[in-house]
């Protein structure tokens, strides 16, 4: 009876789906962001543990893994491009550090949860991206996680334009990718 599954069955507490709630997702991501940005590579195991906790707490695990694979890689490619272009500079001259890769997986987990209200409001999504995207990177810069290769104002304006496009695009792609995965296995009978 020592497992989490038996505990949830006997207590009536349901774990699956808890992570889909807006407030839980907001609190989880705030903690996750701090773990990735403040702890960087030193706290990588904690970041991975928080990603695992997120998977435990959500209802559609396979859909989430698909979103991580597609949108997470997309975001990693965007930040890698910015790094190669000299907008970002990371320790040890890496193109993109492991903590930022992890952070992208966590961020795309907010698209269908805490950022879901923006899906039906593309203009608000653009404005949100234009303001909070650069703010997040600037916070990372202030905490020593990244250096900017250009003057602060140039970098923030560039990131503002990029995120004004990127956030609505990510939300649209999330809507497409979040459709439930249908089983291709036949359950019996004739075709």
Please tell me the predicted confidence (pLDDT) of residue 179.
Answer: 80
∠ CA 32-33-34, nearest 5°, is 90
Q: What is the mean pLDDT of residues 135-164?
A: 97
pTM score, whole prediction? 0.84
pLDDT one-digit tens code per residue, 54-103? 999 998 899 999 999 999 999 999 999 999 999 999 998 899 999 999 99
Q: Cα–Cα distance between 6 and 1 in angstroms, integer?
A: 6
Cross-strand bridge partners of residue 148:
88
Q: Cα–Cα distance between 186 and 133 in angstroms, integer?
A: 44
Q: How confident is the model at residue 16 (pLDDT cuts 50, 70, 90)?
A: low
DSSP-H helix ranges across 12-92: 22-39, 44-57, 61-67, 73-84
How much of the chain exceeds pLDDT 90, in percent? 76
Catalogue the E-assigned strands of the chain: 88-89, 147-148
Please tell me the predicted confidence (pLDDT) of residue 3.
Answer: 47
pLDDT one-digit tens code per residue, 103-119? 999 999 999 999 999 99
Please tell me the predicted confidence (pLDDT) of residue 18.
Answer: 83
Q: Cα–Cα distance between 36 and 15 in angstroms, integer?
A: 24
């Amino acid at each position: 009876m020592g497992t989490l599954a038996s505990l949830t069955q006997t207590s009536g507490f349901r774990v699956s789906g808890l992570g889909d709630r807006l407030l839980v997702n907001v609190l989880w991501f705030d903690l996750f962001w701090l773990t990735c940005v403040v702890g960087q590579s030193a706290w990588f195991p904690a970041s991975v543990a928080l990603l695992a906790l997120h998977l435990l707490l959500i209802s559609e695990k396979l859909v989430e893994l698909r979103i991580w694979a597609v949108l997470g890689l997309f975001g990693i490619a965007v930040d890698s491009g910015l790094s190669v272009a000299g907008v970002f500079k990371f320790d040890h001259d890496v193109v993109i550090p492991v903590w930022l890769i992890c952070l992208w997986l966590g961020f795309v987990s907010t698209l269908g949860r805490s950022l879901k209200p923006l899906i039906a409001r593309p203009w608000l999504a653009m404005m949100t991206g234009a303001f909070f995207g650069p703010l997040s990177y600037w916070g990372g810069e202030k905490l020593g996680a990244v250096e900017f290769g250009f003057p602060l104002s140039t970098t923030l304006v560039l990131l503002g334009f990029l995120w004004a496009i990127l956030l609505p695009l990510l939300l649209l792609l999330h809507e497409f990718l979040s459709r439930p995965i249908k089983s291709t296995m036949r359950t019996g009978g004739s075709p």
